[in-house]
Amino acid sequence: MKEGRSFGNGIIKMDRFLNHQIDPQLMMQAAQELVNRFADNKRINKILTIEASGIAPAILIGYLMNLPVVFAKKAKPSTIGDFYAASVHSFTKDKDTTIVIAKDYLTRNDHVLFIDDVLAFGNAGLGMVELCRQSGTTIEGMGFLVEKAFENGRKPLEAEGITRIESLAIIESVENNEIRIKAF
């Protein structure tokens, strides 16, 4: 509430603590809370995220759970061999990006927890669903630091069969540029 700013059109600037400058204490607390929320699932063997803002919380969660972290790249490097690819639309950048993961790092034996900074329209999550579908990977759940509930991103993920979605802060609205967070 102190650092976030609403810019209208659903855009919330969180770059003072989340996705440009990172508050490591807050990030560790968020990671620990997500680890606690998914502690009952012993099938998870890998943490999955997308470049770039999901990497920091995913690494901390991977560290706390003692699991490897794989992130989808937003550009295919020349060093990658066979890969899975999906298209993801970025609302804040207003463009489509092809994300890729090397086939070596996502297999039908994997049971992943997808972690990202913000759930808005669900586009990044849908891209992950597509990559996991291609590889035969099972998504055990998705965890987000912030959910913009007014943009309904949870619905398309649930429609794709994602039954476990955890969000730490749920923003109900940004009417008149005032951020309203759901009380727990």
The pTM score is: 0.88
Long-range contacts of 139-142 (CB under 8 A, 24+ apart): 139/48, 139/112, 139/113, 139/114, 140/38, 140/41, 140/43, 140/44, 140/111, 140/112, 140/113, 140/164, 141/38, 141/41, 141/44, 141/113, 141/114, 141/165, 141/166, 142/113, 142/114, 142/115, 142/116, 142/166
Query: Domain map of the chain by residue range?
Result: 5-181
What pLDDT is stored for residue 157 in this prediction? 98
What pLDDT is stored for residue 37 in this prediction? 97
C-alpha to C-alpha distances, 56 to 64, 117, 151, nearest whole angstrom: 13, 9, 24
Burial per residue of 50-81, b for 16 or more beta-carbon CB atoms within 10 angstroms, e otherwise: beebbbbbbbbbbebbebebbbbbeeeeeeee
Which CATH code is given to the segment(s) 5-181?
A: 3.40.50.2020
What pLDDT is stored for residue 13 in this prediction? 53
10-residue mean pLDDT profile of the chain (184 residues): values are: 52 58 83 97 97 89 98 82 90 84 95 94 95 97 92 96 93 68 66
What pLDDT is stored for residue 173 in this prediction? 59
Burial per residue of 112-128, b for 16 or more beta-carbon CB atoms within 10 angstroms, e otherwise: bbbbbbbbbbbbbbbbb
What pLDDT is stored for residue 24 in this prediction? 86
